[in-house]
Amino acid sequence: MSATSLFRRGALGASLAAALTAGVVTPSVAAERELLNSSYDIARELFSAINPEFIAHWQEQHGEEIDVQQSHGGSSAQARAIMQGLRADVVTYNQVTDVQALADDGLVAEDWQDAFDNNASPYYSTTAFLVRKDNPKGIESWDDLVREDVQMVFPNPKTSGNGRYTYLAAWGFAEEQFDGDEEQIHDFMRTFLRNVAVFDTGGRGATTSFIERGIGDVLISFESEVNNIRGEYGSDDYEVIVPPVSILAEFPVAVVGPNAERNGNLDLAEAYVDYLYSEDAQRQLASFNYRVHHEAVVEEFADQFPETELLRVEDVFGSWDEAMENHFANGALLDQLQRR
């Protein structure tokens, strides 16, 4: 399948098509059918590992040769691309609101969170810290991040779901720490945001700022991501700190029904999402430092994931819609707290 055939004819301009094509990993062999997974930016390596296993699984079960293509970018941008014509069969995102936006547009079933177990989230993570060798600033929890001698790097919550999780995790900690006292929570968050050395637009940029440019004392990102970064850039040079309280980061998945039906891939798309819950896929996910639900795999990787209290967005902020409106909309709390 050519890259342009991924789009409805005439639905996209050339510039958008070119931009999205850059994020698509094209298979090397011809196949009877091809599935397109639209996913978040830092999941390239993860699905490059899972897809060959699913292809082999499908071949063994059905005797059909298939391929799976990947398209990666910011989760919200990926959802907008589908609304503009990207004919992805499935989505694997890092924020519920991006799948819900597709549901609101009629591209995903209204009850998509009931279609698969665990609110259609086959794996999850939380927000954690990556610090430099021997943790020279002694950073162990969120209250260490508001000290005058600490500088942080994490993506801008305005442009990154990853950054929004960091902001919400810090707020959730402050809410517990100050027993809901609004004035104290706001003071904590003002100082927290003032200690950000650089707000990159996404997780990849934040990693570059912290690792390659040497900015900041701590990089905040998903636990899975900071562990993968430590593995890539040197386990002797960095340490991962999982704070005692953090936020539950679900990674929702869904079938893009109208696209999958039009592509003749509905059975394949449903099987692909379902496969992410299998023991083999859960083991692959855990090997990429994601927390999973399969009991045998959870036990097998138990030493890899420190215990922490995971706050739910719905419990602290009411709902994702309320969190987005009250904190991240133009002129909302994030903007107010950043005013000097």
pLDDT, one tens digit per residue, over 328-337 is 999 999 999 9
How confident is the model at residue 340, as a pLDDT?
A: 60
> Please, what is the average pLDDT of the chain?
90
Q: 247-299: per-residue pLDDT in tens?
A: 999 999 999 999 999 999 999 999 999 999 999 999 999 999 999 999 999 99
Q: Please tell me the predicted confidence (pLDDT) of residue 203.
A: 81
Q: Is 216 left (phi over 0), alpha (psi -120 to 50) or beta?
A: left
Q: What is the pLDDT of residue 6?
A: 40
Stretches where the chain sits below pLDDT 70 are 1-29, 340
| Pair 39, 92: CB distance under 8 Å | yes
Would you state the pLDDT for residue 40?
A: 87
pLDDT, residue 1, reads: 40
